[in-house]
Structure 1
């Protein structure tokens, strides 16, 4: 009979292998403290790699007996895991990539809590301090590479996509890899895995052995989007807003594949930033791309952007249908412009310090029923501020679809009510209905019940 869970003691193979006695004691203290539940949840998500569920609560319930404890061994640490998903092991030994991700969780959860959130030197109500905090988390994870030219391409898209769409993301990733470009995604399956898989083949053909496959996630989404095994650098940011800022600060260009409301949230985030007057002229190549059979997704997105944010926002991106090589060429040419601009303005290649990100894009949005109901969804405001509001709305729907706290809130209090200008609500209704029709809202699309009600 095949085991479904395994007990094991695990040693670090990459992260946290050499620690001082003080660092070990701090980890032991933290693992028994208030951050333990968060640490346990993220660790389970990593060990549950390959699972097809996008329901965070269902995963936690299925492995309710799972436990993980940090133990001290000769000035180092080991992890004792009990009732862990057996898929993370081969012949009783943990898969090396899963091991690396597991210790990345420990590194980031403890560092973020101890050195950022609880550190009085960081005032996270201030924009500059938030940007510094994001930088410190990434630097601590050793994912910033100052010796390289701009070449990191962020790829966004859905974790639940069709096989044809997945194959298309691999084709685009392959063309990027042939051009020596690296990949950064949200680290999960679907459109987050495909570009990495394709790029790994392209890199191999070009004999590139140092390819970066950076995965950025956050505690609220990691259980629904467990890290895929191609990710060779995993970072868990404290919340969705810092995760999004990490994407745009470290990335040099962005490619968006078809997805659902989470992808729409990411699109509104980058458009809102690029629409800010202080960011005018900063080169940031942005491409929306899909196979021919899926172009309707971006048709709906483009129409919604035009109706809400206008032609100025539409001019910030290019839509490419069924042409992976052209997408990669746009990015390759964009890297030349990014490098030239960064060099002329003395900005780092590895972290975009010059990009202006307002507080409304940085402050964590709590998707409570009250906050969702009070979102100012109207055109009587600057476009970049409207984009920030729409981003929060989509973030709330994502929470209601897949995040543990959102699922609980909907179960207890019913649907989120979303109010706004009638024109915007009509456009929103049409776009969200198209996502449902295209089965893009959840993996269990046939049984999808909306977690929101649009009030016109």
Structure 2
């Protein structure tokens, strides 16, 4: 069954307090542009059962009949959505209010994104900063510790509960802190759930003002990993590279829980950044955190050792134990950390970290996973390999299916290829990678 739905667009999230005629025209054009995928994205945002969806094709099929047009009412602008599946609405008639907030935030970031002030490698970081400023995230006075959390979308219950407990203890010890996650479910939701309880116990909202639950997403992944309902500040970046740079620059430190190919991609990106000589001496703690008895990061470190030997030593910390012990460790270290400024301009990003990797059959076959290169270059190529796996299994699985039984041949060092293939297969076996229709990997090695 289908119904009609009116969704108010919130000017305070997008432009100012009122839309001009030019804004309305820009909005109409942006909604109609197929490159923006607004029907698919809005469908994912209003789908109350978003936890059940991890494939953009499911959203595309479910909302294939939905149409969206602008409907001005008494000076306000609404989205008039027709042919909306009733089962995506919590009562068959309405959306939850947080979905309304998220839709306006997505319109701001996709249709009303600030224009790039310049081109070239030197300007990429400046443009990302302007993008974040445009959201209003950076203009809220003093902050305490801001920590990003990376980890899996699909995780076992015990891992979810550990991430939630860790969010609780860190917010209890540091009630002025805030979290940034990938905004979806699993590990991306758990820290917010834990912190929400801790903030209440510490009267954090009264003592320190509003505490944001910050979610960073990306245009191509949003429909498969729609934001959870706790996110109060949603930003949707044009590319995964811009999203990851913003994660790092908008945080004072970072931690990672177990996850899939996307989590490995993020870890490799961070290690590439920290390995740069220009960033030596800049304080930035990067922690791989797991509950006691876990072996995920032990096995990942073994993989890194096969690929890099001791070249990455000292760039990360592994914590396996209780959530309270890790939270106590972070709280102690934060006493000596300057958290006054939210945006870290000191870190230097090599253009190879920032350049978008366009996934194609040819670009995957062009990756070099040999040892005949510096560690930084191998980190970049491995990161692009895992980015390709994410793209083909989450963002655009139709591309993978279009190749039939053929797969791009990945070339490189025999031991690195074997270890990488073993890691991917292990993640798939653990349910951390979305399976393809043929249940074959997104690549082949010889």
Counterpart position of 1:57 = 57
> Matches of 2:283 and 2:348 in 1, distance apart?
13
Count of residue pairs the alignment pairs up: 435
Deviation beyond 6 Å, 4+ runs, structure 1:
none
**Aligned counterpart in structure 2 of residue 198 of structure 1, from 194, 197, 207:** 194
Once the two structures are overlaid, the 10-residue window that deviates more, 331-340 or 260-269, is 331-340
> Matches of 1:417 and 1:331 in 2, distance apart?
43
Query: 2:35 matched to 1:39?
Result: no
Structure 2 counterparts to residues 207-356 of structure 1, below 5 A: 207-209=203-205, 210-293=210-293, 295-339=294-338, 349-356=341-348
> Matches of 1:338 and 1:313 in 2, distance apart?
24
Counterpart position of 2:96 = 95
Structure 2 length-normalised TM: 0.91
Query: 2:331 matched to 1:369?
Result: no
Shift of 1:384: 2.1
Q: Which runs of 5+ in 2 are unaligned?
A: none
- Contact residue 47 and residue 84 of structure 1 kept, 8 A: no
> Matches of 1:157 and 1:49 in 2, distance apart?
23
Shift of 1:199: 0.8
Query: 2:114 matched to 1:122?
Result: no
> Matches of 1:450 and 1:218 in 2, distance apart?
26
> Matches of 2:234 and 2:292 in 1, distance apart?
32
- Contact residue 27 and residue 70 of structure 1 kept, 8 A: no
> Matches of 2:49 and 2:92 in 1, distance apart?
17
Query: 2:168 matched to 1:174?
Result: yes
Structure 1 length-normalised TM: 0.89
Structure 2 counterparts to residues 148-187 of structure 1, below 5 A: 148-178=142-172, 179-180=174-175, 181-187=177-183
Counterpart position of 1:108 = 109
Q: Deviations over 1:362-407 (max 9, x none)?
A: 1111110100111121222222222111111000001111112x43
> Matches of 1:37 and 1:146 in 2, distance apart?
30
Structure 2 counterparts to residues 56-75 of structure 1, below 5 A: 56-75=56-75
> Matches of 2:189 and 2:349 in 1, distance apart?
28
Counterpart position of 2:424 = 432
Shift of 1:92: 2.7
- Contact residue 24 and residue 75 of structure 1 kept, 8 A: no
> Matches of 2:282 and 2:249 in 1, distance apart?
12
Q: 1:150 to 1:355 in 2, by over 3 A?
A: farther
Once the two structures are overlaid, the 10-residue window that deviates more, 362-371 or 26-35, is 26-35
Q: 1:412 to 1:455 in 2, by over 3 A?
A: closer
Once the two structures are overlaid, the 10-residue window that deviates more, 77-86 or 131-140, is 77-86
Counterpart position of 1:136 = 130
Secondary structure of 1:147's counterpart equals coil
Measured on the aligned residues, the alpha-carbon RMSD in Å equals 2.3
Q: Deviations over 1:391-446 (max 9, x none)?
A: 11000001111112x4324433533332211121121122222212322212x69x
- Contact residue 291 and residue 322 of structure 1 kept, 8 A: yes
Q: Deviations over 1:262-313 (max 9, x none)?
A: 11001001111011110001111111112235x2221221111122233342
Shift of 1:149: 3.7
Q: Deviations over 1:226-260 (max 9, x none)?
A: 11000011011001111111101101111111111
Shift of 1:91: 6.5
Secondary structure of 1:8's counterpart equals strand
Structure 2 counterparts to residues 370-449 of structure 1, below 5 A: 370-404=362-396, 406-413=397-404, 414-442=406-434, 449=439
**Aligned counterpart in structure 2 of residue 452 of structure 1, from 431, 442, 446:** 442
Shift of 1:352: 0.9
Shift of 1:26: 3.8
